[in-house]
Amino acid sequence: MSMEKQKHYIAMLITQAIFAGMALFSKAAISQGMNPYIFVTYRQAFAVVALAPLAAFFERKTAVALTYNILLKILMMSLLSTVSLNLYYYSIHYTTATFAAATTNLIPAITFFMAVLLRVEALSIKKSYGMAKFLGSSIGVIGALVFALVKGPHLNFMNLSKENTRGNHSSNYGWKEEWLKGSLVMILANITWSLWLILQVRIVKQYPAKLRLATLYCLFSWIQSSVWSMAMERNISAWKLKWDINLFSVVYCGVIVTGLTYWIQLWSVEKKGPVFIAMFTPLSLIITAIISAFLWKETLYVGSLCGGILLVGGLYLVLWGKNREAEREANDQIVEIKGGTTVI
């Protein structure tokens, strides 16, 4: 395979490695005491710094009117993303980086169910692709619940995964309660993000300058997060950033995750389509689990492994259904055009 053909695969590998780093570094920063609301505020600030120059350069010739109606919609949508991020970073304190990476595989399933409920997407159980999407979404949800609630024996991953401090007290009711709370909040964060994905479709059609749109999202989210975090954390010292993992994490999540990966994914969607990108999503879970076991001796359980397998299997079933549905719609349009029917 030539380098030209390999570059899309390399780009996706880099992207998933970056996403794995997001879970790992943010977990490290918050575990060391950084306030999760302040983390979101700094992350969005650095994201604006990263995205604004890209939007100014690549979309300088794109003339799109920013009406008050669109601006209000962007403001409301940014609120959803702010809520989702705050829930994510709040919950990661009570769970693990591996669990955070695992639940991202749940987003396609949640998005599908919500799209059906909101009548944005039709559910055709009688069709093979409709049944695949339904079963895949259901399996994904079950996998997330198994990952969160079922432990079982811990896996001795290459003799590196040992019981950590919390693991030694896994029988303690307080720790189990914290894990359950963190897991439920993480799933709620994914539900909020899925709702954001569904509702932003109309805004993208009204305001197609994607980089500029992402910059506005992050700008409004930064303002909203600033107000919320200042109300929740009055201690000035909590806002100070030093040359440590906290500063590195917020810069990494803001500049690299939001800025670089957004650009890579836009380029990949244009070249290979959204299904190609989604197929690589489980890689971040695998990378996160391996690095966590090596560096932080994060305990892996049989229940986590089974839940992860269900999550990944459900994801691929949903993607297969979506791909078959797209092919079917494309073939139907070709047939209609050949038959002399005008397709609008």
166 confidence band (pLDDT: 50, 70, 90): very low
Q: What is the pLDDT of residue 341?
A: 45
Q: What is the pLDDT of residues 1-26, one digit of tens each?
A: 556 667 877 888 898 899 999 999 99
Q: What is the pLDDT of residues 204-216, one digit of tens each?
A: 888 888 889 889 9
d(CA 190, CA 173): 26
Residue 248 has pLDDT above 90, yes or no: yes
Torsion angle defined by CA atoms of residues 288, 291, 296 and 300, in that order, rounded to the nearest 10 degrees: 60
Residue 170 has pLDDT above 80, yes or no: no
Single pTM value for the model: 0.81
DSSP string, 226-277: HHHHHHH---GGGG---TTHHHHHHHIIIIIIIIIHHHHHHHHHHHH-HHHH
